[in-house]
Structure 1
Amino acid sequence: MIRLRRVALPQETARRLEKYTEEIAEQATEGARKAKAGDLWSARRGVRPALLDALTEMAPGHARCMYCGDSQGTDIDHFDPKSRTPLRTFDWFNHLLACSYCNSNQKRSLFPTDGDGTPLLVDPTLRDPLDHLRLVLPLGQYKARTPQGQACIDVFGLNSRPVLVKGRVDAYATARHSLELWRIATDKGQHDKAREIVRVSWNRPLVDVLVAMFHQSRHSAADALFMGEEEVLVLLRDPELREGFLERP
């Protein structure tokens, strides 16, 4: 999971979402509101394409899932499930892009809260997942820094899905190679090639690995985190390389 920026919707789409929310709010009981929300969402009269376009623009890489970062995002997920808060069914700030596996097999209607009822899952458009999760790069596994981080690990199966763990290990190897290639291309004055390396790097699946690498390289314990990989740490701390990668084309 990485921090994402929410974009604005077209005015017509925003107006339709407000109208549907008003129709749900007009229902007399909570049960009626849930039923109305379900019916309206099943129809989604004219709003689904615009929502998907906006979520795709926000998503990492080529429309990757905002939870696992690996598979293609195909589903509009209600972060706070519509079965729990029907009035947020058409709330744009409650919509995220998920792959079908994360949406239907992992998260479903799960929405853990703490003892005060505060949501534990991290919405990456509101909070930085790096404040709650640390990726152990050589192992491809996440460690929780907070209860919110642990909730994300559990609900999204971030460590229990072998394809994700193995994918992150491979993504780490690929990212290290990309840093080296960028340095070589830049030193040779091949700036177009260097920019292409950056573009491809950010569009790969599991880009959370690359984000974690740059983040951890600035950590006070970076020397320990990258023990045995000092050359990688030197590259990650290179001001020219950081500028080239972090100011994406």
Structure 2
Amino acid sequence: MIRLQRAALPADTAAQLEGFTRDIARTAESDRKDTAARLWSHSTVRRHVREGLLDALTDMAPGHQRCMYCGDGQGTDIDHFEPKSLAPLRTFDWLNHLLACSYCNSNQKRNRFPRADTDGSPLLLDPTLQDPLNHLRLVLPVCTYKSLTDQGAACLEVFGLNTRGVLVEGRRTAYGTAKQSVELWRIATDQGRHDKAAEVVRIAWNRPLADVLAAMFHQSGHPAADLLFDGEEETLGFLRDRALREAFLTAA
């Protein structure tokens, strides 16, 4: 997971969402769950509303339409961060919509929405509101995550970020290609091939599992970076280069 910026919706799509929310609010509280489910599955919503939502979410998503949870699978589903079965009034709330792959949405998350025992706040991370780097640390080079907070732990459990072997192996591959990217940027820049260097940056961020690249830059500035990158001193040197950091992080 990486930090994402929430996009603004087109005015007509936003107005449609508000109208459906009013329709749900006008029904009896006991009927709102069924009303929300019926409206969300209505053919008009599928044809007109969901298309606008998917377009906006796709523009926000990491890489080429990647899942906002695992960062690997293609984002095909509009996920309700707070499930509509638990919060029907948020069914058409733009701030409650994220892009997910079908596996994260239907196999992992489903209607699970853990809350803190202390204050009832959500334990899952919304990457448009919180920076996952403050809650999850990628252990390099094994590329499994360590939770730093209860929210990080909840995400690991709900989305299986460490137990889905394909994700862990994919992150290991992504780590190797990310190291190659920063080295290629250095070579291209030293040769004065600035268009080539810019292309390297663009491709690096558009690959699946861009969370690996984000974690590398984040950890390179950590006080314990020398330990975190033990045996990877050359990579750490690249990541600490001021010009390289500016080129990659301004494009993130």
TM-score, normalised via structure 2 length: 0.97
The answer for the alignment partner of 1:42 in structure 2 is 41
SS of the counterpart of 1:47?
Answer: helix
The answer for the alignment partner of 2:70 in structure 1 is 68
- List aligned pairs for 1:152-163, cutoff 5 A: 152-163=155-166
CA distance in 1, matches of 2:143, 2:168: 5
1:114 shift after superposition: 1.1
CA distance in 2, matches of 1:239, 1:3: 21
CA distance in 1, matches of 2:125, 2:150: 10
Deviations 1:113-148 (A, max 9, x none): 111211100100001111110011211100000000
The answer for the alignment partner of 2:211 in structure 1 is 208
1:248 shift after superposition: 1.4
CA distance in 2, matches of 1:127, 1:149: 11
The answer for the alignment partner of 1:27 in structure 2 is 27
- List aligned pairs for 1:175-186, cutoff 5 A: 175-186=178-189
Q: Give the counterpart letter for 1:78 in structure 2.
A: H
- List aligned pairs for 1:85-164, cutoff 5 A: 85-115=87-117, 116-164=119-167
1:244 shift after superposition: 1.2
The answer for the alignment partner of 1:243 in structure 2 is 246
Identity of matched residues, %: 68
1:246 shift after superposition: 1.1
SS of the counterpart of 1:139?
Answer: coil
The CA RMSD over aligned residues, in Å, is 0.9
1:29 shift after superposition: 2.7
CA distance in 1, matches of 2:15, 2:247: 40
1:173 shift after superposition: 0.5
Runs of 4+ that moved beyond 6 A: none
The answer for the alignment partner of 1:12 in structure 2 is 12
CA distance in 2, matches of 1:55, 1:231: 37
The answer for the alignment partner of 1:84 in structure 2 is 86
Q: Give the counterpart letter for 2:84 in structure 1.
A: K
1:220 shift after superposition: 0.5
Q: Give the counterpart letter for 1:37 in structure 2.
A: A
Q: Give the counterpart letter for 1:86 in structure 2.
A: P
The answer for the alignment partner of 2:193 in structure 1 is 190
CA distance in 2, matches of 1:150, 1:201: 28
CA distance in 1, matches of 2:248, 2:29: 52
Q: Give the counterpart letter for 2:39 in structure 1.
A: L
Query: Structure 2: where are the runs of 5+ without partners?
Result: none
1:243 shift after superposition: 1.1
TM-score, normalised via structure 1 length: 0.98
The answer for the alignment partner of 1:234 in structure 2 is 237
